[in-house]
């Protein structure tokens, strides 16, 4: 991160916020992943790609995170896999760090490291299988499930960037989805949307397969702090109530209603969206430039990154 001139309490507040963001999301500055052979653009298209622009904005990733996860879990097979095999209840931050790490590494990592990350996650997924509460068998490497989880992430992130950073043209959105589709296919998906039209048609096709069940309600209760896993106070519960609804406001109304997170449009416009706009601005103030993007830029353009720049990042 580039040091900024703030001093006193403002500087301390910024440092505390950076520490809190890093605790939740990790640092993502490993030289062996983001450095590497000069001229290597990585998997997602390199410095001129939409993926680099959009994923370089940590604020959009933060704001979109909850919506992406909830959309993934509306598929009961994904929900069953996570409910049964994931450590989210005992170590929720690890899951957030790993997912953010996956997006950043596949975008900014050198080609070999990004490919290794995808293969490593596939190996984890190869052990995840079972039977849903309604008796339907599932396995995480089912291309349909991988396709759905893959799609939920760029869909939510793109919508957040478009709303809170700058409006994207149709062509830019198509380009972003096309770049991301490559990562989805490498992760084991077969058909993933490569344009806004395809995304809309795909989501409509998936809709009948999505639902809320006891496991999803239990996950949502956990997220909202309504379980005994990590007891929190009324203020924190209220903040989470707002954060979940604000993030889900990125998604279509049917998804908000299905998850019980829908709020009237006045509440969305006057409260939820401004709350996420403010959150996005604060994250951007704390992290104007992601260290991994700076390192990747130096690698891809063949510019040597000075040790002081790495230390500052
Ligand atoms: C492209 C789609 C997917 C991506 C990008 C993704 C991403 C990830 C990542 C980064 C990890 C962490 C691996 C590690 O611990 O190092 C992980 C673990 C896991 N994934 Fe996925 N995943 C996808 C699809 C799925 C699907 C379809 C299911 C369920 C059916 C699933 C269930 C799990 C579970 C249960 C874990 C175990 C670790 C934990 O959450 O504690 N994932 N996934």
Q: What is the pLDDT of residues 11-59, one digit of tens each?
A: 898 999 988 888 888 889 999 999 999 999 999 999 999 999 999 999 9
**Angstrom distance (rounded) from CA 110 to CA 15:** 29
CB 82 less than 6 A from any atom of ligand 1: yes
Q: Note the pLDDT of residue 242.
A: 96
Averaged confidence pLDDT in the chain = 93
Q: Note the pLDDT of residue 91.
A: 81
Cα three-residue angle 26-31-34, rounded to 5 degrees: 80
Number of the ligand 1 atom closest to the C-alpha atom of 150: 1
**Angstrom distance (rounded) from CA 295 to CA 36:** 9
Q: Note the pLDDT of residue 313.
A: 45
CB 81 less than 6 A from any atom of ligand 1: yes
Give kind and range of the element (H or E) at residue 129. strand 129-131
Per residue in 179-207, pLDDT tens? 999 999 999 999 899 999 999 999 999 99
| CB within 8 Å of 192: residues ≥ 6 apart | 147, 150, 151, 180, 181, 184, 185, 202
**Ligand 1 atom 33 nearest Cα:** 82
Place of tokens 């809320």: 212
Measured CA to CA in angstroms, residue 264 lies from 224, 253, 271, 274 at distances of 20, 10, 11, 15
* pTM assigned to the model: 0.93
Burial annotation 43-72 (CB, 10 A radius, 16+ → b, else e): bbbbbebbbbbbbbbbbbbbbbbbbbbbbb
What is the distance in A from the centroid of ligand 1 to the CA of 177?
20
Q: Which stretches of the chain drop beneath a pLDDT of 50?
A: 1-3, 311-313
């Amino acid at each position: 991160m580039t040091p900024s001139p703030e001093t006193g309490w403002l500087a301390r507040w910024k440092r505390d916020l950076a520490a809190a963001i890093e605790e939740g999301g990790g640092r993502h500055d490993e030289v062996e992943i983001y450095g590497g052979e000069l001229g290597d653009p990585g998997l997602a298209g390199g410095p001129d790609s939409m993926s680099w622009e959009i994923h370089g904005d940590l604020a959009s990733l933060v704001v979109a995170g909850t919506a992406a996860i909830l959309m993934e879990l509306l598929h009961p097979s994904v929900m069953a896999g996570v409910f049964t095999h994931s450590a989210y209840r005992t170590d929720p931050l690890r899951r957030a760090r790993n997912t953010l790490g996956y997006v950043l590494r596949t975008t900014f990592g050198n080609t070999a490291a990004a490919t290794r990350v995808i293969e490593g996650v596939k190996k984890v997924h190869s052990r995840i299988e079972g039977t849903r509460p309604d008796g339907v068998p599932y396995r995480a490497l089912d291309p349909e499930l991988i396709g759905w989880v893959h799609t939920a992430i760029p869909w939510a992130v793109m919508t957040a960037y478009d709303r809170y950073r700058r409006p994207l043209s149709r062509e830019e959105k198509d380009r972003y989805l096309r770049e991301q589709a490559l990562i989805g296919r490498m992760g084991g998906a077969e058909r993933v949307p490569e344009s806004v039209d395809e995304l809309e048609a795909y989501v409509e096709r998936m809709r009948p397969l999505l639902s809320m069940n006891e496991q999803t309600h239990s996950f949502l209760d956990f997220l909202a702090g309504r379980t005994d896993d990590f007891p929190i106070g009324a203020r924190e519960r209220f903040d989470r109530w707002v954060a979940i609804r604000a993030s889900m406001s990125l998604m279509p109304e049917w998804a908000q209603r299905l998850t019980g997170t829908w709020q009237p449009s006045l509440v969305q416009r006057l409260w939820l969206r401004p709350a996420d706009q403010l959150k996005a601005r604060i994250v951007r103030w704390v992290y104007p430039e992601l260290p991994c993007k700076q390192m990747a830029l130096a690698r891809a353009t063949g510019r040597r990154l000075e040790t002081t720049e790495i230390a500052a990042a």
